[in-house]
Amino acid sequence: MTASPRPAPAVAPAKFASIGSPYFGIMLAGMAVVLILSNIGASKGVAIGPIITDGGFFLFPLAYILGDVISEVYGFKVARKAIFTTFALSVFASLCYWVIIALPGFDDDFGTSKQAALEGALGPVPQIVLASLLAFLAGQTINSWILVKMKARSGEKSLWARLMGSSGAGEFVDTLIFCSIAASVIGITDFPTFLNYVLVGFVYKTLVEFLFVPVTSLAIGWVKKREPSYGVVGS
């Protein structure tokens, strides 16, 4: 008589925390600052040998790392609030740039050169912000949704797989949308250079997130241990 197969062990339900502690607010502020600064940096095209990128390349992956921590610890609904809050703050920053440029300045040589410098540095930002916001909104939402869905299946196990799987999908969508809108602003006009821009951006951002998986995992574990409500809130 053959033995019946053992049932697969049940997966513990996904655990999350509420946002009553200060940790969420700190991460949300960091996420917003990183996105706003990367929007300014992205208005500058950067050529490092054959590599084509923009001035915000070293900042933007940090926003996704913070998004991963928020999604893993607090869940999709809270992560969505963080995404929309960051979105709104970036829009506000863009409006501030527009007002600053529009305000009448001094008409001497210094004032004229200062105005030209502001227009050159911040003038293209609204289109960059549009590209960044649409890309951030789509990419971060997909990133968070996939991470939380994977957590629902695996519980607390396989954190590295959640971080890598969700980041790869989110960064691809983000990079494609951003580069399609922003390329002309930073001076990219031909398809080979555009393809270089997309591939370099995607590979770089994804590689940075993969390399930072151990650090992200440690940060997640640190926040989980210090969140009093972690494990009380379900999915």
Instruction: State residue 186's pLDDT score.
Output: 73
| Cα 143 → chain centroid | 9
Neighbouring C-beta atoms of residue 109, cutoff 10 Å: 8
Half-sphere exposure of 102 (CA within 13 A, CB side): 6
Using CA atoms, how far residue 76 sits from 36, 84, 191, 211, 217, in Å, is 23, 12, 36, 24, 18
**Do the beta carbons of residue 147 and residue 163 sit within 8 Å?**
yes
Instruction: State residue 146's pLDDT score.
Output: 95
Distance CA 170, CA 27 (A): 19
Instruction: State residue 190's pLDDT score.
Output: 87
Residue that the structure tokens 């940075």 belong to: 208
Q: What is the pLDDT along the chain (235 residues), one digit of tens a residue?
A: 555 566 555 566 788 999 888 999 999 999 999 988 887 887 787 888 877 777 888 887 888 889 999 999 999 999 999 999 999 998 898 888 889 888 998 989 998 998 988 887 777 667 777 888 899 899 999 999 999 999 999 888 999 999 999 989 998 999 899 889 888 877 788 888 888 888 888 988 888 889 999 999 999 999 999 999 998 766 5
| Cα 151 → chain centroid | 20
Instruction: State residue 234's pLDDT score.
Output: 62
Listed as own residue / partner, the contacts of 207-210 with beta carbons closer than 8 Å and 24 or more positions apart are: 208/61, 209/61, 209/64, 209/65, 209/68, 209/163, 209/164, 209/167, 209/171, 210/164, 210/167
DSSP string of 100-151, one letter each residue = HHHS----SHHHHHHHHHHHHHHTTHHHHHHHHHHHHHHHHHHHHHHHHHHH
